[in-house]
């Protein structure tokens, strides 16, 4: 029986990094703070800040019946720019491939820690995990960079009247979701490289 646990300590760390990165990617996907819109007119948006995510746009209001007023953004909505529906699709694909990468990485680390007779299967599982982690990193990095570029270029979104948002903000800034997603993507890429190095 072959015992290879001493050869896979870095890969175990890669599995931990990959799992944490995947949790951050899931959080990034669901968080509303991709873009922060700052507005002058605080008659409806009383905080002066609206959060525009890939799934919905929200703001605090003391005028409207709901304190936190949110409206959903769909993939097929015609008013949203291309980076938002693309981000919806790519981030969901990143969540799925990240989950598959975690399963594959766990199987690979299990092979190393609990002995295996056929080393080819073990190396293949490490390569599959590294590939899935790398694909996840790219799938999440593309929409994050695209949306960050739109924010930095001050691109606007022509929201319909029921959103109660202005046509253009006074200024906008990158939200916490993009920073968290960038960190998660880099961590996921590091995990993929660690698995490739087995």
pLDDT digits (tens, 9 = 90+) for 95-146: 999 999 999 999 888 888 776 666 677 888 889 999 999 999 999 999 999 9
How many other C-beta atoms are found inside a 10 Å radius of the C-beta of residue 183? 15
Bridge partners, 72 (sequence order): 56
- The CATH number assigned to the domain with range 1-197 reads 1.20.140.150
What proportion of the chain, given as a percentage, has pLDDT over 90? 61
Helix or strand run (H / E) with residue 60: strand 56-60
Confidence of residue 1 (pLDDT cuts 50, 70, 90): very low
Computed on alpha carbons and rounded to an integer, the radius of gyration of the chain in Å comes to 21
Bridge partners, 37 (sequence order): 50, 172
Domain positions in the chain: 1-197
Confidence of residue 41 (pLDDT cuts 50, 70, 90): confident
pLDDT digits (tens, 9 = 90+) for 140-153: 999 999 999 999 99
Does residue 168 carry a pLDDT above 90? Answer: no
Q: What does the pLDDT average to over 178-197? A: 94
Does residue 35 carry a pLDDT above 80? Answer: yes
Indicate the average pLDDT of the chain.
90
pLDDT digits (tens, 9 = 90+) for 62-101: 888 888 889 999 998 899 999 999 999 999 999 999 999 9
């Amino acid at each position: 029986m072959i015992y290879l646990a001493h050869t896979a300590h870095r890969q175990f760390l890669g599995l931990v990094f990959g799992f944490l990165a995947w949790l951050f990617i899931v959080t990034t996907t669901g968080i509303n703070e991709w873009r922060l819109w700052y507005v002058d007119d605080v008659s409806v948006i009383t905080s002066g800040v609206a959060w525009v995510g890939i799934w919905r746009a929200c703001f605090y209001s003391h005028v409207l019946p709901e304190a936190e007023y949110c409206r959903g953004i769909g993939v097929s909505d015609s008013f949203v720019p291309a980076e938002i529906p693309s981000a919806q699709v790519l981030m969901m694909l990143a969540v799925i491939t990240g989950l598959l990468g975690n399963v594959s990485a766990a199987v690979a680390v299990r092979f190393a820690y609990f002995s295996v007779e056929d080393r080819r299967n073990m190396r293949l599982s490490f390569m599959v995990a590294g590939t899935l982690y790398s694909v996840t990193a790219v799938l999440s990095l593309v929409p994050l960079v695209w949306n960050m570029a739109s924010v930095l270029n001050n691109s606007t979104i022509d929201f319909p009247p029921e959103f109660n948002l202005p046509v253009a903000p006074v200024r906008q800034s990158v939200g916490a979701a993009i920073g968290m997603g960038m960190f998660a993507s880099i961590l996921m890429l590091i995990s993929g490289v660690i698995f490739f190095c087995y």
